[in-house]
Structure 1
Amino acid sequence: MALGASPAVLDRLWSVVMSRRNADPSVSHSARLLSRGTAKIAQKFGEEAVECLIEATRGEREALIAESADVLYHLLVMWVDAGVRSEEVWAELQRREGISGIAEKASRVRQLPMSFGLRTTKIP
């Protein structure tokens, strides 16, 4: 970890994105994303996630680090748009700590909107 780097940077970045909700979209990238709506924010998050996956499969460590930062930033924008506070996510992670991933996943019932006619996120 770089000197002075800490996971607390995520909370600080969340606060910055939160503060940009009503900023001028012509001078703030966060404000611009937030002004474009949930669908566009989700699309950008998905694009960044795919770029991250590509770099991971290519074995490009530095590019993976850069793309991971993009994914985290766009995730924070999505949280702000949805009214999710970072502490809520940290609390959920803490709740899951020490629980088997298999057991935790089995305890959740996931259901996509019925308009899709699916009950899973898995592609058949």
Structure 2
Amino acid sequence: MEHGEILARLEATIAQRRAGDPSASYVAKLNAKGIAKIAQKVGEEGTETVIAALAGDRKELVGEAADLIFHLMVLLSAKDVPLAEVLAELERREGTSGIAEKASRSN
């Protein structure tokens, strides 16, 4: 299965579950707690991803990276930012030096 299809299916599932029953859906539970809680989870998963990377455990890193992507997608959904918009921004930056791109944002 193509990776883009997996992300599209995940995005659709998150959108569907956002307004669901918080006792039956983790996505609904997070959304019921608000943006601050969702953002906190993204931060926690980011930290856990860094720890796994530094520990050198590939399997753990893969799992934590998946958690991070999932929670980031929950956050994007909660803020009504489609993944396509993020992908378009990545595409816009493609072929541009990271140093040059960052410098262009500070002007």
* TM-score, length-scaled by structure 2: 0.95
Q: Does 1:82 align with 2:84?
A: no
Aligned partner of 1:35 among 15, 32, 44:
32
| Pair 1:52-2:49 in alignment | yes
Larger radius of gyration: 1
Q: Which stretches in structure 1 are left out of the alignment for 5+ residues? A: 111-124
Match of 1:114 in 2: none
**Aligned mates of 1:85, 1:5 — CA distance in 2:** 19
Distance in 2 between residues matched to 1:36 and 1:109, nearest whole Å: 34
Q: CA deviation at 1:104?
A: 0.4
For structure 2, the residue ranges without an aligned partner over 5 or more in a row are none
Which residue of 84, 96, 100 corresponds with 2:93? 96
Counterpart CA distance in 2 for 1:98 and 1:8 is: 24
Q: Distance in 2 between matches of 1:109 and 1:24?
A: 43
Structure with bigger helix share is 2
- 1:109 aligned residue: 106
- Name the CA distance, whole Å, in 1 between partners of 2:75 and 2:53: 23
In 1, the alpha carbon distance for the partners of 2:5 and 2:102 equals 27
Q: Does 1:26 align with 2:28?
A: no
Correspondence for 1:72 = 69
For 1:90-120, what per-residue CA distance to the aligned partner results, in whole angstroms no more than 9, with x for missing partners?
Answer: 100000000111000001139xxxxxxxxxx
Query: Deviation of residue 22 (structure 1)?
Result: 1.1
Question: Secondary structure of the equivalent of 1:18?
Answer: helix
**Deviation readout 1:19-73 (Å, 9 max, x if unpaired):** 1121001000011011110100010110111011000000000000000000000
How far off is 1:5 after superposition?
Answer: 5.6
Structure 1 residue 10: Cα displacement = 1.3
Aligned length: 107
Find the counterpart in structure 2 of residue 119 from structure 1.
none
